Amino acid sequence: MPLSPPIAPMLAKLERELPRGEGWVYEPKWDGFRAIVFLTGGSVELQSRDRRPFNRYFPELLPALSSAFPPDAVVDGEIVVAGSEGLDFDLLQMRLHPAESRVRMLAERTPASFVAFDVLAVGDRSLMEVEFAERRRELEGMLAGRDGEGVPGPGSTQVLLTPQTGDPEEAEGWFDAFAPLGLDGVVAKKLSMTYRPGDRVMVKVKRVKTADCVVGAYRPSRADEGIGSLLLGLYDDEGVLHFVGHTSSFSTDERKRLRKELAKYEREADSFGEGRTPGGPSRWARAEQAVWTPLRPELVCEVRYDKLQGDRFRHAATFIRWRDDKRPEECTFDQLM
């Protein structure tokens, strides 16, 4: 094989609108785990977005991928789990469990599928420097008859080719047609682009404003033994973590549970020590609001926000989910729009 793991996946930058014009094509952005599949002589190795091995979490995918692709190939795509009403990220997240018995039980009850959208190598040929238009033709040849219409169905493992269109109006229609089923946005790609690991050369558009943030601290609750809010941070270009806002959208039981779970991440040093901190002077802040417990910057969560004030959230963000598949250093300001 001309390529071997790990390979940093090619990334997308967030824009407000889909780019239009000659040479652009559009694909759904699926709500799952990014994965690069390495097939070598019949063996299969799954690599996560942050270049960790994924095989143990998705045992049902290995034979399906082996039968769908040539014995020697490298394919880029998304691992998803379908629930009764579309893709279910919570079910997918449950797979990142340390107990093998638990993983295998979930693999039987809620099997994962793989949606392919790029190919990096076939046989002894690297396609990294080949234009995307040709890479797509190679992928279509591999997955003839597996064109993805809608989303994978629940109850079985499927390997599908992601839909693609050159019509921006059709792509705009996906936001409404596919969103309830698990569409996370739309990705735009240039047909002429080569595969550039780690570079944000694709474009992604979301209708809902979300950001993946580092949990740098928490404020204790004034009413009980739980947390009051999670304090969120993003990294700048120099690798400095800055406070950008908070989220407090938790039930009473969740607040108490989180307080116990976060205890093992507590630290003496301030995670926001070199950047903007949550305790800046404000005539509106009460004394108890200046109290927070620093955490090691290892946890990542996705939040929804409405407006920005400069480069921070104007209002409290809404907690969506934990992102165990994201590295903290990937949580940067270029997500904000």
pLDDT averaged over every residue in the chain: 89
Give the integer Cα–Cα distance in Å for 246 and 219. Answer: 9
> Residues 6 or more apart from 267 whose CB is under 8 A from it?
294, 295, 296
Please state, as a whole number, how many other Cβ atoms lie within 10 Å of the Cβ of residue 188. 21
Confirm whether 206 is a catalytic residue: no
**pLDDT confidence of residue 285:** 39
Q: How confident is the model at residue 280 (pLDDT cuts 50, 70, 90)?
A: very low
**pLDDT confidence of residue 177:** 79
Nearest one of 247, 232, 244, 250 to 300, comparing CA atoms? 232
**pLDDT confidence of residue 284:** 30
- pTM, two decimals, is 0.77
Which range has the worst mean pLDDT, 4-8, 57-61, 150-154?
150-154
Residue ranges and CATH numbers for the domains of the chain are 11-205 (3.30.470.30), 210-335 (2.40.50.140)
Quick check: 119 and 72 in contact, CB under 8 A? Answer: no
Which residue out of 13, 29, 206, 209 is catalytically annotated? 29
In this structure, what token pair is assigned to residue 250?
């938790």
pLDDT tens across 92-131, in order? 989 998 899 999 999 999 999 999 999 999 999 999 999 9
pLDDT at 57 over 90: yes
pLDDT at 31 over 80: yes
